[in-house]
């Protein structure tokens, strides 16, 4: 009955390094979302998975960002050649879409990424 969990809670890395951020959605939730929240801003959509496939990746800022969800549950957001501007809180959310209107998304606590 746990909620969405994200690891690590904090990640400090150096410019140019590669990082992976993990999200464990609520069990049974087929939809998974990644958002990025910069200081003083609201969450900004990055990518949405329905099952194993990325249904909408229009929010990924550039090709340094990539996300996978190979078994339709856990997802990993991967950032290559990190830049200082990538510093933000990365939020993951999951939902169990039915038909019709958008459904409530349940958010994890986020991973705070700091690129030095």
Partner 1 sequence: DQQVKQNSPSLSVQEGRISILNCDYTNSMFDYFLWYKKYPAEGPTFLISISSIKDKNEDGRFTVFLNKSAKHLSLHIVPSQPGDSAVYFCAASLNNYGQNFVFGPGTRLSVLP
Binding-site ranges for partner 1 (CB under 8 A): 4, 31, 33, 35, 40-45, 48, 55-56, 58-59, 91, 93, 95, 97, 100-110
Closest to partner 1 by CB, 40 or 70: 40
3 state SS of 31: strand
Residue 80: CB minimum distance to partner 1, A: 23
The beta-strand segments (E) located in the chain are 5-7, 10-13, 19-24, 31-37, 44-50, 53-56, 65-68, 75-79, 88-95, 106-107, 111-115
Nearest distance, CB of residue 115 and partner 1, angstroms: 20
Question: CB of 15: closest distance to partner 1 in angstroms?
Answer: 26
Q: Which is nearer to partner 1, 20 or 109 (CB)?
A: 109
């Amino acid at each position: 009955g746990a909620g969405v969990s994200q690891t690590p809670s904090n990640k400090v890395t150096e410019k140019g390094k590669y990082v992976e951020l993990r999200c464990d959605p609520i069990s049974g939730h087929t939809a998974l979302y990644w958002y990025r929240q910069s200081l003083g801003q609201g969450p900004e959509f990055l990518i949405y998975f329905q099952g194993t496939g990325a249904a909408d990746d229009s929010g990924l800022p550039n090709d340094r960002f990539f996300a996978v969800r190979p078994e339709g549950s856990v997802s990993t957001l991967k950032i290559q050649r990190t830049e200082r501007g990538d510093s933000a809180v990365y939020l993951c959310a999951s939902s169990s879409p039915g038909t019709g209107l958008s459904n409530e998304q349940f958010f994890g606590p986020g991973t705070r990424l700091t690129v030095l």
